[in-house]
Structure 1
Amino acid sequence: MASIHPDPLGDVPKLSHEPSFDDEKKGYGIEAEKSLDSPDSERGTLALGSSEHVNGEPIISTGEDVSNYLVDVHDVGGEALTFRSIVLGTILSGFGASVTQARTFIYSFKPLPVSVSSIFLLLVIYSAGRIWARFPTREYFDRHPRLKRYAAIVHFLNPGEFGMKEHAVATFISTTASAGSTAVNNFAVQRLFYNTNPNAVTAVLATFSTACFGYGLVGLLRPLTVYPSYMVFWASLPSVTVFQTLHHDKVHNKEITSKRVRYFWYAVAGMAIYEILPAYIFPLLNGISIICLATQNAPPHARSVISYIFGGANSNEGLGVFEFSFDWQYLGSYYMSVPLIQQVNTWVGIFFGYFALLGIYYANTWNAKNFPFLSTAIFDSQGNVYNQSFVFGPDFNLNRTALAELGPPYLAGGNVLNNMAQNWAIGGLIAHVTLFWGKDVIAAFKLANARKQPDRHWIAMQKYKEAPMWWYAVLLVLSFFAGLIVIFKGNTTLPWWGYLVALSSGAIIAPFSTALFGRMGNGIATNQLFKMIAGAIHPGKPVANLYFAMWSHDVVSTSVNLAGDLKLGQYLKIPPRVMFITQVYGTILGAVINYVVMQVITTNKRAILLDPIGDNQWSGFGYQSLNSNAVTWSLAGQVYGIHSLYRWVPLGLILGAIPVVFQWLISRRVKKIGPLSIDKIILPYSMGNIALLGAGINSTVWSSIILAIVSQVYLRRYKPKWFRNFNYLIGGGLDGGAQITIFILTFAVYGASGTARPFPTWWGNTDTGNIDYCLHQRKGG
């Protein structure tokens, strides 16, 4: 009888026997998931271990629990790559460039970076696919002799019922088109801050190069980053559950299936209607601060302090302590998906960040009071926006005479802390993965060499032909030469040898980031590391710094995103070769679409995107941050040198690794402190999130904590059956409903199409000051 090690942070799960695909055909896994509502004896829990049970129901806590109890292993069959799936995926890619998961472009300009799931596209494709399936099929033409000759063509166009695999492939095409768009950020920065317009060929080749290099890399690393059970990619679970509910559950218990479908559509419809309130009519719901509302008559100086501490509904307003958001677009199913311990690591960092950010500002550390309390822009010594065009000139190279006249750039105190914290996290990430998970990597290599893997979803996939390694190797070569063309033909100012260093740096860090994201559901921002390397080898060249970071960091980000898609494909039993074709096609498609979207947004919203503060609808803080880092790290000697004001920032790489080493040494002797396992403390998360609130909208933290506690403590532990059947499903439905409304509002009233139509002002939609009635200040002081 097989038993599985329950700890996802421990060794690779071990079974009492090495399963083969024959085990799958005999019932290993399939019998274990006969019904989402059947008793444990029918679902085979005796053959599949779990960490804990409540009333016979397993508590979903680990990656092995997800694999064994949450995600159905049954392969429903059916075609995956069809004419219909390609057409629907291609058409919906335009929407994907606007509203889908990861680096969705319009949302990149929002004052709070929204990680949008693929549920919206999933729902639209599902509706379109079902409509398509209602057209005449082959059976109809076969029954009419005069039409029988066209039966094969009709079957090609409409193979019949819209199956789960077709649905998944169409969705993958659309989401990959957006997930491969991160390189476009560079072109937005060049348009906004350097008044240059990279041509479309450069943009498309560069985007293809970064995305496909990352995909080729993750393809070669599949045995480490995709196949094992502990590599869950938690944020994908709502999508898995929705796919199963709409398609997979039809083969199971009718009553529970009907209930799941009803609950899902109730969540979609309810949230689609509700989201109109916080997103347009009643923006006060973005952040309700009782303290700010109660102190409107306080003296200005007191209100300033109150705003910095308790305000947070507007971009760069304050820390949002005890402020609550009721806007689902800024919350999302993520907090219902990731286990509590992963989120607690983040909360610890935020808690210390409250004191650190306030202490830095009011102690005037790094002359913080000369600049806004929260901002990612760069300034001169007088607190004005830094005139980088004067310092770098039209050729993007440093003019030392101009630098001596204007002086080096300065950063807001929170921005300095953010840069330092990112370095702590990067150093801690490398140390944690190496020390705590090194054994798992070695075990995964051994399993890959033996072509074995205990995960039952991987076992079920063995009937399909694997995408050979040489496919991914060829993709690496093609993407490498595409990037080389950009280096020689585009105005990147990055030499060819710098391009090689960039790719190599990204390839080294990508496995670390993917391992962390796959296991824990969140990652560590590593862009700072690449900015540092670029500044060291290309001083005085901010655009070269941008492109260096693009190739290095995008290799990491696309590796993480595409590894998550490959895991989703494993859960849904999509043939590996179909996944390869789908994602490469989606990447090329996205390179074109996202370039067009970038042009539209940066043209129509240029002024507000350049504003250091922004507003509650639009903000360019993410791109200001990219530019700030590029400029400051290109002046690394003057800004971060040993005698500079910010000299502690680069030392963070070493300082971040030290506490992780001590944690590992302690864990060798002390396994637990009370109920908490030492190895489940992820210090890189805590360190990296110390300055998480250093920019953007901060009114969501306390709401997200409540959401996580309800889902991940109460429902997970005390209502495990309900949690397993409905938690991820309803989270996905709420995401889908919010995204439908936000997509419509973005183009109808926010001004993405050129003309904004704000809702009339009233108490819940003030046009003076901050929307949460905290004091509105444009500068620090």
Structure 2
Amino acid sequence: MSKVENEKDIVEYVVTPQEPVNEDHHDHDDKIEKGDLEHDSLLASGHIQLTADELSALEAKLPECSAEQAKEILEEVYTVHQHDPRYDPETLERMKMFISDKNIIANPDTYHSLIFEMRILALLTSTSSAYPEVRAVAADMDDPTLPSLTIRVWLIGTILSAIGCVINAVFVMRYPAISISSNVVQLVAYPIGVAMAKLPNWKLFGLELNPGPFNKKEHLLIVIMSGLGMAFPPTQHLILAQAMPQWFGMEYAKKAGYQFLGALGTNMIGFGFAGITRRFLVYPSYCVWPASLSTIALNNALHDHAGSRTPVRGPFKTVWRASMYKCFWIVFAIYFVYYFFPGYIFPNLTIFDWIAWIKPTSGTLVAITSSNFGVGVGFNPLPTLDYNYLAMPGGYFPMFVHYNFLAGLTLGLLLAIVFWTRNVLNTGYLQINSPSTFDHKGKSYVVRNIVDKFGRLDNAKYQQYSEPYMSAGRLVGFIGTFGYTTGTLTHTLLYNRHELIMGFKGMMVDFKHWWARMRGRAVEGEVINAGDDIHYRLMQAYPEVPEWWFIIVVLASMVISFCCLGIYTPVSPGVVMIAPILTVIFIIPVGIVTAVSGLEPSLNIIAEMVGGGIAGGDTMTVQFFRMFGSEPVYHALIYANDLKLSHYVKINPRHMFWVQIWGGLLGTFITVAQWNWLMAIPKVCTPDAPFRLICPGGQGDYSNFIFWGTLGPHRLFGKGGRFTWLLIGLPLGVIFPIVMFVLKKRFPRNKVLQASHPLLLILSFGWASGASWGSYVPGLFINLFSWNFLKKRYLEFWSRYNYVTLAALGTAISINAFLVFFCLVFPGVDFPTWWGNGGGTPGCIGSWTNADCGRYKIGAKGYFGPDPGNYH
């Protein structure tokens, strides 16, 4: 059967067969009728998600794009996006047929519906974006004459960065965490910027005080500067684990010089790598960075109060005329008032453990149904009535992200239940999903009982004390983490090899051009474009930041880090030279996953494992290997997300460079200045901490350092080790993406397979450690309504209101939490005690270190596991 005959397997827009048509025998009305039919059929099919206005605008441009030109454009589109789960599988198949079958263009009358669709798709991808979520917020035009890096940006951005940084340094230690988000800064900055635009246009240091109306680009630069200032340094959890007396209690970790140099070094290394990898993580159109879209939506609303008043059809036969600005304030007001209940009056709405409350002393009931951190796996159909509690809020991410993540997480949590009920590695004596490390009595593991005065393992003490034990959830977490480590590389090579090849070719071409200019020679040779959409082309109007600027930042940061270790610690500064190799290997694969899905994978375990393998028994070396091996990746992703934000809004890249440098420096200075004050709060970083400052990040770091540092991977995961079999995750991480890749090739039209993302499945499986099903599943329900119902049926309504609604929710939560904490909770104005703020924490619900809440009871010996003196 020929390719032409295979067209019957492709869903056509018109139900009746299309016969070849000779247009010479039809009048003008017939052409119009056929065009209208194709227009309506394309909208109805849903293969390409377009509003009627968007389609009409593209149809007007059809004379600019012939079938041959469309084929040339779509050949590159297909190469890049053939594995893109955002694309409809049927559309990809039609695209493949169009570019591979020569008979289609040769027979335009027979295939006019398919050709029409492909020409529209080619125009869409080349003049705008194929993703409705990007089109909803990012303009496909620019005004390069707008001022951006003005005095207003420096003044407002610096002040708001400082204020936000002071606040966030406290809230990051809280569970659930609350932060002053970038949208709060954006909201506060707007009236200040507008007011400054009314000042006289004096000059200060050669810059105009008032260069004109306060515009979007200035506004976003303030947001970006403040966001980086408020983003706590990647070493914060690490410093807590090192300095707190209930954990490692290291005195050097309390010294301001050590804290500042370590924070600045890791922060700026991340910034440098973000800039170097722009062509992989920022410029490609598939790198959407979903978290940045609501920020742009709020920016659009604030700078266009009237907005579009064109009526749009909404659900339930409604018609909506409200502007984005009006929508924002309505949603903000409603949720601001509501959040007083979960945030102050009725805290049990946040973790709504109504099933566990039936019998809170039942370890099994609590383990299965509680969503409290470290206590249970959270299988609860109504786990929360607090949007802030959601670990994956609905509305931001495409459906494939929610489907894959929840599927992997569910499998991981079910396996944790199996481990717990079967008492695998004595996990049945512990709570099912605790992040802590335990001794053989079910108490928190005290690392000082097994180390000498230099923090190194003392085997005699170890044999007298206890082997370390961990919960069932952490066992699953290690399997998933090992799988993700190898799966990241395998998945990237399978699905993104074309982009990697083109990116590295582009870097080589740029280097050759730079070398030619340095030698005074004419620049010759091809130019390889790193982007494939209108936003990348519009950004070519601005001078780019050379790669060597970022390379200098990386080298300077490594010198700072070298000084940090050499001056303050007994650890060899050579760690700074070795550890960043991990960043080099993983920054692009991990960055692509984050840019596509919006999730931020962690490389901490692999860094600790490698560091422990190099220096087993030396906890400090492992800590610093993590500090300079994986933490820079985390911060690089923050910087890369902001680079994409500026890419969408068309901000001069060199202006972005200086704003990011200043924001990072400012945030590091201010955050470090607060650390010792925060660590002096009584009972901080314990389950009994005031204001819920339990420091879940520091607790997790401490537990991991015990395994990978003090005891080392050789003892625990080497030959004869109790946890060796968990390394099965490493080969599974290689095999699973390959199997899924083959299946997708074999069944290209299977929507379930095409929407599956092997790496997200592995990642979420590993996130079962410490995670709760209840903190993720509500986001799926919200997303089903937003993306599956509203977006598919009411695209124009969804485009106008979805992201501005999300911005309003996040802003309302942040401002309300700020007011409640500092105006009521901190001064000690507590709401009267009642069951809604105290009835959900008794028994096994209130602590993740309660040995009485395990599946099994400790026997008469008073401990479980082998006898002291017989440890591996």
- The corresponding residue for 1:31 is none
Instruction: List per-residue Cα deviations over 1:622-645 (Å, max 9, x = no partner).
Output: 211101111111212222222122
The residue type equivalent to 2:806 in the other structure is G
Instruction: List per-residue Cα deviations over 1:475-532 (Å, max 9, x = no partner).
Output: 11111111111121122x4323322111111121111111111122213222111010
Return the TM-score normalized by structure 1.
0.84
- The corresponding residue for 2:597 is 520
CA distance in 1, matches of 2:618, 2:845: 42
The residue type equivalent to 1:506 in the other structure is T
Q: Which moved more, 1:223-232 or 1:539-548?
A: 539-548
Sort the Cα spacing of 1:616 and 1:315 in 2 relative to 1 into closer, same or farther, 3 A: farther
CA distance in 2, matches of 1:162, 1:62: 28
SS at match of 2:769: coil
- The corresponding residue for 1:671 is 748
CA distance in 2, matches of 1:607, 1:718: 52
CA distance in 2, matches of 1:737, 1:277: 13
Residue 127 of structure 2 corresponds to residue 71 of structure 1: no
Which residue of 468, 478, 503 maps to 2:556?
Answer: 478
Return the TM-score normalized by structure 2.
0.76
Q: What are the equivalent positions in structure 2 for 1:415-564 lying under 5 Å apart?
A: 415-446=474-505, 449=509, 450-452=527-529, 453-491=531-569, 493-564=570-641
Q: Which segments of 5 or more consecutive residues in structure 1 lack a partner in the other structure?
A: 1-34, 139-149
Sort the Cα spacing of 1:535 and 1:571 in 2 relative to 1 into closer, same or farther, 3 A: same
- Given that residues 151 and 207 in structure 2 are in contact (C-alpha distance below 8 angstroms), is that contact kept between their aligned partners in structure 1? no
- Given that residues 137 and 155 in structure 1 are in contact (C-alpha distance below 8 angstroms), is that contact kept between their aligned partners in structure 2? no
CA distance in 2, matches of 1:405, 1:421: 32
CA distance in 2, matches of 1:776, 1:409: 16
CA distance in 2, matches of 1:370, 1:762: 33
Residue 703 of structure 2 corresponds to residue 628 of structure 1: yes
- Given that residues 313 and 699 in structure 1 are in contact (C-alpha distance below 8 angstroms), is that contact kept between their aligned partners in structure 2? no
CA distance in 2, matches of 1:251, 1:74: 17
The residue type equivalent to 2:139 in the other structure is D
Shift, 1:720, TM fit: 0.8
CA distance in 2, matches of 1:632, 1:771: 29
- Given that residues 373 and 770 in structure 2 are in contact (C-alpha distance below 8 angstroms), is that contact kept between their aligned partners in structure 1? no
Equivalences, count: 716
CA distance in 1, matches of 2:460, 2:354: 52
- The corresponding residue for 2:424 is 365
Sort the Cα spacing of 1:125 and 1:355 in 2 relative to 1 into closer, same or farther, 3 A: same
Instruction: List per-residue Cα deviations over 1:24-56 (Å, max 9, x = no partner).
Output: xxxxxxxxxxx9995642467856999689xx9
Sort the Cα spacing of 1:212 and 1:268 in 2 relative to 1 into closer, same or farther, 3 A: same
Shift, 1:344, TM fit: 0.7
CA distance in 2, matches of 1:691, 1:51: 27
- The corresponding residue for 1:145 is none
SS at match of 1:623: helix
The residue type equivalent to 1:214 in the other structure is G
CA distance in 1, matches of 2:608, 2:686: 21
- The corresponding residue for 2:286 is 230
Residue 330 of structure 2 corresponds to residue 284 of structure 1: no
SS at match of 2:685: helix
Shift, 1:363, TM fit: 0.9
CA distance in 2, matches of 1:687, 1:354: 13
The residue type equivalent to 1:200 in the other structure is A
Sort the Cα spacing of 1:373 and 1:772 in 2 relative to 1 into closer, same or farther, 3 A: closer
Shift, 1:553, TM fit: 0.9
Q: Which moved more, 1:344-353 or 1:316-325?
A: 316-325
Shift, 1:772, TM fit: 12
Shift, 1:276, TM fit: 1.2
Residue 194 of structure 2 corresponds to residue 194 of structure 1: no
- The corresponding residue for 1:18 is none
- Given that residues 375 and 845 in structure 2 are in contact (C-alpha distance below 8 angstroms), is that contact kept between their aligned partners in structure 1? no
- Given that residues 363 and 844 in structure 2 are in contact (C-alpha distance below 8 angstroms), is that contact kept between their aligned partners in structure 1? no
The residue type equivalent to 2:838 in the other structure is T
- The corresponding residue for 2:778 is 703
Sort the Cα spacing of 1:762 and 1:63 in 2 relative to 1 into closer, same or farther, 3 A: farther
Instruction: List per-residue Cα deviations over 1:289-317 (Å, max 9, x = no partner).
Output: 55345x35xxx77x432222122146524
Instruction: List per-residue Cα deviations over 1:181-217 (Å, max 9, x = no partner).
Output: 1122221111212222432222222222112112212
Residue 268 of structure 2 corresponds to residue 212 of structure 1: yes
CA distance in 1, matches of 2:87, 2:234: 39
Shift, 1:735, TM fit: 0.5
Sort the Cα spacing of 1:511 and 1:39 in 2 relative to 1 into closer, same or farther, 3 A: closer
Q: Which segments of 5 or more consecutive residues in structure 2 lack a partner in the other structure?
A: 1-49, 66-73, 75-85, 92-116, 313-320, 510-526, 855-872
CA distance in 2, matches of 1:766, 1:87: 44
Sort the Cα spacing of 1:651 and 1:537 in 2 relative to 1 into closer, same or farther, 3 A: farther
Shift, 1:566, TM fit: 0.4
- Given that residues 507 and 555 in structure 1 are in contact (C-alpha distance below 8 angstroms), is that contact kept between their aligned partners in structure 2? no
Q: What are the equivalent positions in structure 2 for 1:148-227 lying under 5 Å apart?
A: 156-179=208-231, 181-192=233-244, 193-195=247-249, 196=251, 197-227=253-283
SS at match of 1:496: coil
- The corresponding residue for 2:192 is 128
Shift, 1:177, TM fit: 1.7
Structure (1 or 2) with the larger CA radius of gyration? 2
Q: Which moved more, 1:171-180 or 1:378-387?
A: 171-180
CA distance in 2, matches of 1:114, 1:329: 8
CA distance in 1, matches of 2:763, 2:434: 17
Sort the Cα spacing of 1:224 and 1:582 in 2 relative to 1 into closer, same or farther, 3 A: same
SS at match of 2:450: helix
Identical aligned residues as a percent:
22
Sort the Cα spacing of 1:332 and 1:609 in 2 relative to 1 into closer, same or farther, 3 A: closer
Instruction: List per-residue Cα deviations over 1:93-148 (Å, max 9, x = no partner).
Output: 1343256xxxx5444323345687421222122233233334x323xxxxxxxxxx
SS at match of 2:630: helix
Sort the Cα spacing of 1:467 and 1:279 in 2 relative to 1 into closer, same or farther, 3 A: same
- The corresponding residue for 1:385 is 444
Q: Which moved more, 1:254-263 or 1:681-690?
A: 254-263
- The corresponding residue for 1:261 is 325
The residue type equivalent to 1:360 in the other structure is F
CA distance in 2, matches of 1:776, 1:669: 46
The residue type equivalent to 2:187 in the other structure is L
Q: Which moved more, 1:86-95 or 1:698-707?
A: 698-707
Sort the Cα spacing of 1:643 and 1:756 in 2 relative to 1 into closer, same or farther, 3 A: farther
CA distance in 1, matches of 2:130, 2:552: 32
Which residue of 739, 744, 755 maps to 2:819?
Answer: 744
Sort the Cα spacing of 1:361 and 1:333 in 2 relative to 1 into closer, same or farther, 3 A: closer
- Given that residues 348 and 686 in structure 1 are in contact (C-alpha distance below 8 angstroms), is that contact kept between their aligned partners in structure 2? yes
- Given that residues 490 and 737 in structure 2 are in contact (C-alpha distance below 8 angstroms), is that contact kept between their aligned partners in structure 1? yes
Instruction: List per-residue Cα deviations over 1:33-81 (Å, max 9, x = no partner).
Output: xx9995642467856999689xx99999986444556421222442211
Sort the Cα spacing of 1:628 and 1:290 in 2 relative to 1 into closer, same or farther, 3 A: closer
The residue type equivalent to 1:778 in the other structure is N
- Given that residues 165 and 671 in structure 2 are in contact (C-alpha distance below 8 angstroms), is that contact kept between their aligned partners in structure 1? yes
- The corresponding residue for 2:679 is 602
- Given that residues 769 and 776 in structure 1 are in contact (C-alpha distance below 8 angstroms), is that contact kept between their aligned partners in structure 2? no
CA distance in 2, matches of 1:51, 1:314: 36
Sort the Cα spacing of 1:554 and 1:582 in 2 relative to 1 into closer, same or farther, 3 A: same
Shift, 1:767, TM fit: 5.1
Sort the Cα spacing of 1:746 and 1:191 in 2 relative to 1 into closer, same or farther, 3 A: farther
Sort the Cα spacing of 1:119 and 1:288 in 2 relative to 1 into closer, same or farther, 3 A: same
Shift, 1:86, TM fit: 1.2
SS at match of 1:369: helix
Shift, 1:369, TM fit: 2.4
CA distance in 2, matches of 1:671, 1:537: 44
CA distance in 2, matches of 1:507, 1:228: 20
Instruction: List per-residue Cα deviations over 1:250-309 (Å, max 9, x = no partner).
Output: 79779999611100112222222211110110112113355345x35xxx77x4322221
